[in-house]
Amino acid sequence: MIHSKTCSICNSKFETTYSRKKYCTSTCSEKADKLCKKSYDRKKAKEYREKHRELKPCKHCNTEFEPFFLNSERQMFCSTQCKSDFHKDIKLQVLREQANISPKPCLHCEEVFVPKYGTNTERQLHCSNRCKKEYHKAESRRKSAEIRANTTRTCPICDTQFSPKKTLKEMYCSAKCRKLIGKRVYGMMERCYKEFNTDKKNKSHKVLGYSPAELLAHLQSFPDWDTLKHQKWHLDHKFPIIAFVHKGIDDLSVICQLENLQPLSEEANCSKNGSYDLVEFEKFVS
């Protein structure tokens, strides 16, 4: 009787008169025997390791590990990476001894260290990356301080000559001068909110459409600014807030736009008493 079967190794179909035959050729039969022997050896090795379980320290990192091979005396490292690093360290140590590298002091902590062997041995000036970062940070601060010390600026508020203390972006000699324009802006907006019975809901530069620096540049464009800034001066609306209230305008970007602001002395601003030209105001609003 002829039987039709499929080989479990190469998956090819074949016909045979033997009902117990599993493989198509002797080659597939030999492969099956090898696979069976491998699985048997792995099973026995696993049983042996479970029976004779032991931990030993890695020769490189001293981490305890369980040897994989049956002959555990030959396995000295927990991983191939530790094995590679161990032999690299030995090779570098031999090369370092042959190169006769002399120790040198670290530029940051001044501790004596031996540079690592490599192409940049002579350029190694620090004992570690941490010392290198700290050294360059200190050098950067020193150079910045030296540049600031050699930089002289004039404060736009009080005309005082000064050197920046923290950064080169400093424009004012003190916090008092820096906050002066900002306080005027806050006072101007507070008067508007008080007139409209509302509260501030956003940042000043977003509500007004300009920053204190732009307002200062606008004030500096007036010819009498150099005289007024040393006196008691007010940030004046050319057309008062009440005029916009009567017109039904409550938008601060319109009321406090730069074209409607000017610096005035305290006496001149008080003498205005809220008066304005109605015809000019109509032109300004339209």
State pLDDT tens for residues 10-51. Answer: 888 888 888 788 888 888 988 888 888 888 888 887 777 677
Which of 28, 45, 62 is where one domain is finished?
45
Strand spans (E) along the chain: 3-6, 13-16, 56-57, 64-65, 104-105, 112-113, 153-154, 161-162, 233-237, 261-265
- Let me know: does 5 contact 16? Beta carbons within 8 Å: yes
Cα–Cα distance for residue pair 209/55, rounded to 1 Å:
73
Residue 131 in any domain: the answer is no
| Per-residue pLDDT tens digits for 210-253 | 988 899 999 999 999 888 888 888 989 999 988 898 888 888 88
| Domain limits for position 266 | 175-285
Residue 163's pLDDT is what? 92
Lowest mean pLDDT among 15-29, 45-59, 262-276: 45-59
Residue 238 in any domain: the answer is yes
Residue 219 in any domain: the answer is yes
What's the whole-model pTM score? 0.52
Per-residue confidence at 72, pLDDT binned at 50, 70, 90?
A: low
Residue 7 in any domain: the answer is yes
Residue 155 in any domain: the answer is no
Q: Which conformational region is residue 274 in: left (phi greater than 0), alpha (psi within -120 to 50 degrees), or beta?
A: left
